């Protein structure tokens, strides 16, 4: 099939799966061994190689884009494990995203999709209002009551699993509390900032993990960084995951503009999913003449919080944390950003903390955006594989730098009834600093 023929298919601009990519799959099958979905189902259609063959068949008109095809396309976790191992460099995750964009063009958008991707997610203030019932649930003590009385176990299975995803909800979102500029060294007079950085506060961090993000800002300022926090919109990860390519590009442009004109050493985020999405803006906007260069420069400055702190070197924490911790690698961090040693080094810098490695630390936990909600059963099987390794470590805490993974790990802790908490590594570093301050005051 020629390029021209493929382009006549209703692919949105820029979403056309790269024919060269499809052709370059040599069908070696190496990817099957690392694909979490294939390892569960053992169906060739679920292996990356099978998925590529299906996309090709649809593009060439040999296969109808049936509901089964759609399910297969949406089952991909975008974990990139196959990309890591592929000798031909095939980006199966991107092919699946392009196929979703293709299906969207075929099927059109319904009102719920428009409301979610076009109205709710792009406006953090709307998301904050929409999550108010969760904060009430927590603040009124209903959550504690349900947990203590075991009422969650009376819920229908699917609802119960979804309720387990909820972490302890913060009293308030962080965004309205953060100043546009937070001075270095907590504003101590007479000290020049070591550097000036931009902070990208992601949606989930804002409403679900506000305390972790507050810790991020404290740790950055303690280490001499002046933190610039502009008003941003969603990074676009949910949009890309659901084939909303043009909307994702719009969001990318808005986020780039939010940091433009500032002299910043880096753009930091403490959400692994946001980090990998921001990191790909250069690629996403490569065909936009007005933004291609700006997007490339922006992406080069994006850093995950642990990566950045590891690069600049941190003030060694003095306070102790006598705790046993295991670390789960978010797919978006370990493969999307190539970051795995930095968060471990941060954890190991804390006096008293014992880091114990779990088996398959970089195996997908099964959250994958909304996979835990839309494919509850399958996601639960992936989670069980992860939790078996987590439980083997006898750790008191499981740390991970991605809100999606943290939600899923909270679900796992409850599903397995483990006496364990889920944390972001930055919270532990922040706690160690604070413990050090308390000790010094005594």
Residue 245 CB partners (closer than 8 Å, separation 6+): 12, 13, 14, 15, 101, 239
Nearest to 233 by CA among 125, 101, 333, 368: 125
Residue closer to ligand SF4 (CB basis): 35 or 208: 35
**Shortest gap between Cβ of 408 and ligand SF4 (angstroms)?**
15
Residue at token pair 């506060």: 201
**Shortest gap between Cβ of 99 and ligand SF4 (angstroms)?**
11
Cβ pair 331, 364 in contact under 8 A = yes
Residue closer to ligand SF4 (CB basis): 86 or 219: 86
Classify 300 as helix, strand or coil.
helix
**Shortest gap between Cβ of 235 and ligand SF4 (angstroms)?**
19
Residue closer to ligand SF4 (CB basis): 36 or 170: 36
Name the DSSP class of 284: H
Residue closer to ligand SF4 (CB basis): 295 or 333: 333
**Shortest gap between Cβ of 11 and ligand SF4 (angstroms)?**
20
Cβ pair 325, 356 in contact under 8 A = yes
Residue closer to ligand SF4 (CB basis): 95 or 235: 95
Residue closer to ligand SF4 (CB basis): 25 or 295: 25
**Shortest gap between Cβ of 30 and ligand SF4 (angstroms)?**
4
Cβ pair 407, 435 in contact under 8 A = no
Exposure on the CB side of residue 245, measured as CA atoms within 13 A: 24
**Shortest gap between Cβ of 243 and ligand SF4 (angstroms)?**
15
Classify 204 as helix, strand or coil.
helix
User: Footprint of ligand SF4 on this chain (CB under 6 A)?
Assistant: 25-31, 34-37, 48-49, 51-52, 76-82, 86, 88, 90, 92-93
Name the DSSP class of 339: -
Distances from the Cα of 326 to the Cα of 213, 310, 383, 395, angstroms? 20, 19, 16, 6
CA 361 to centroid of chain Cα atoms? 16
**Shortest gap between Cβ of 349 and ligand SF4 (angstroms)?**
32
Cβ pair 402, 329 in contact under 8 A = no
Residue closer to ligand SF4 (CB basis): 80 or 265: 80
Cβ pair 355, 327 in contact under 8 A = yes
């Amino acid at each position: 099939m020629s390029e021209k023929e493929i382009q006549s298919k209703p692919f949105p601009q820029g979403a056309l799966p790269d024919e060269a990519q499809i052709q370059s799959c040599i069908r070696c099958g190496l990817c099957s061994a690392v694909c979490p979905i294939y390892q569960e189902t053992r169906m060739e259609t679920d292996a990356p190689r099978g998925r590529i063959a299906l996309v090709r068949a649809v593009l060439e008109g040999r296969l109808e884009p049936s509901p089964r095809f759609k399910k297969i396309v949406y089952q991909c976790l975008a974990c990139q494990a196959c990309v890591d191992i592929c000798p031909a460099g095939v980006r199966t995750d991107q092919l699946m995203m392009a196929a979703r964009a293709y299906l969207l063009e075929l099927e059109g958008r319904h009102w719920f999709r428009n409301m979610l991707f076009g109205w709710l997610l792009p406006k953090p203030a709307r998301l904050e209002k929409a999550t108010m019932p969760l904060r009430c649930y927590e603040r009124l003590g209903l959550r504690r009551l349900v947990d203590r009385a075991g009422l969650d176990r009376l819920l229908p299975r699917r609802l119960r699993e979804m309720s387990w995803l909820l972490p302890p909800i913060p009293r308030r979102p962080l965004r309205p509390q953060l100043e546009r500029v937070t001075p270095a060294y907590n504003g101590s007079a007479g000290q020049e900032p070591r550097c000036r950085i931009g902070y990208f506060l992601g949606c989930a961090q804002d409403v679900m993990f506000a305390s972790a993000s507050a810790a991020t800002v404290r740790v950055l300022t303690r280490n001499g960084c002046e933190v610039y926090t502009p008003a941003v919109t969603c990074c676009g990860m949910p949009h890309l995951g659901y084939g909303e390519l043009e909307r994702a590009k719009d969001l990318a442009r808005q986020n780039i503009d939010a940091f433009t004109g500032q002299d910043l050493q880096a753009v930091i985020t403490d959400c692994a999913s946001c980090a990998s999405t921001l990191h790909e803006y250069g690629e996403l906007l490569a065909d936009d003449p007005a933004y291609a260069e700006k997007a490339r420069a922006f992406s080069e400055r994006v850093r995950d919080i642990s990566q950045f702190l590891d690069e600049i070197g941190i003030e060694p924490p003095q306070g102790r944390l006598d705790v046993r911790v295991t670390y789960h690698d978010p797919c978006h961090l370990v493969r999307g950003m190539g970051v795995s040693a930095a968060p471990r080094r941060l954890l190991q810098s804390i006096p008293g903390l014992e880091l114990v490695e779990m088996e398959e630390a970089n195996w997908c936990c099964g959250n994958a955006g909304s996979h835990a909600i839309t494919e509850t059963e399958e996601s639960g099987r992936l989670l069980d594989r992860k939790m078996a390794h987590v439980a083997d470590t006898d750790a008191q805490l499981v740390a991970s730098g991605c809100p999606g993974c943290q939600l899923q790990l909270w679900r796992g802790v409850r599903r397995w009834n483990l006496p364990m908490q889920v944390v972001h590594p930055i919270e532990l570093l922040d706690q160690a600093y604070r413990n050090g301050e308390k000790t010094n005051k005594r």
